[in-house]
Amino acid sequence: MSLSQISSFVERHDAIVLDGGLATELEKREHDLNHKLWSARLLISNPDAIRDVHRSYLEAGSMCISAASYQASVAGFVAEGLSESRARELLLDSVFIARQAVTEFLAEHSEVPAIDSPIVAASVGPYGAALADGSEYRGNYGISRAELTDFHAARLEIILQAKPDVVACETIPCRREAEVLRELLDLSTDVLAWISFSCPDGEHISDGTPVAECAALLDSCDRVFAVGVNCTAPQHVRSLITQIRSAAPQKRIVVYPNSGQSYDAERRIWTGQSNPADFGDLAKNWFDAGATLIGGCCQTGPDHIRSIRATVCR
Residues 234-257 pLDDT 10s: 999 999 999 999 999 999 999 999
Confidence of residue 100 (pLDDT cuts 50, 70, 90): very high
- Residue 6, CB-side half-sphere exposure with 13 Å CA sphere: 20
Is a pLDDT exceeding 90 seen at residue 260?
no
Q: What is the spatial distance between Cα 304 and Cα 278, in angstroms, rounded to a whole number?
A: 9
Confidence of residue 132 (pLDDT cuts 50, 70, 90): confident
pLDDT digits (tens, 9 = 90+) for 206-232: 999 999 999 999 999 999 999 999 999
Angstrom distances, CA of residue 152 to CA of 43, 97, 157, 292:
20, 22, 8, 27
Domain that holds residue 118: 3-312
Q: What is the spatial distance between Cα 213 and Cα 175, in angstroms, rounded to a whole number?
A: 9
Q: Kindly report the CA angle at 223 between 96 and 89, in degrees rounded to 5?
A: 25
pLDDT digits (tens, 9 = 90+) for 269-311: 677 778 999 999 999 999 999 999 999 999 999 999 999 999 9
Confidence of residue 95 (pLDDT cuts 50, 70, 90): very high
- Are the C-beta atoms of residues 37 and 68 closer than 8 Å to each other? no
Distant-in-sequence, close-in-space partners of 185: CB < 8 Å, separation ≥ 6: 167, 169, 191, 193, 221, 223, 224
- DSSP letters, the chain, are --HHHHHHHHHH-S-EE----SHHHHHHTT----STTGGGHHHHH-HHHHHHHHHHHHHHT-SEEE-S-TT--HHHHHHTT--HHHHHHHHHHHHHHHHHHHHHHHHH-TTS-GGG--EEEEEE--HHHHHTSSGGGT------HHHHHHHHHHHHHHHHHT--SEEEEEEE--HHHHHHHHHHHHT-SS--EEEEE--SSSSB-TTS-BHHHHHHHHTT-TTEEEEEEESS-GGGHHHHHHHHHHH-TTSEEEEE---S-EEETTTTEEES---HHHHHHHHHHHHHHT--EE---TT--HHHHHHHHHHH--
Give the CATH number, domain containing residue 87: 3.20.20.330
- Are the C-beta atoms of residues 255 and 199 closer than 8 Å to each other? no
pLDDT digits (tens, 9 = 90+) for 39-90: 888 999 999 999 999 999 999 999 999 999 999 999 989 998 999 999 999 9
Is a pLDDT exceeding 70 seen at residue 37?
yes
- What pLDDT score does 41 carry? 87
- The pLDDT > 90 percentage for the chain reads 79
**Into how many domains does the chain fold?**
1
Is a pLDDT exceeding 80 seen at residue 129?
yes
- What pLDDT score does 188 carry? 86
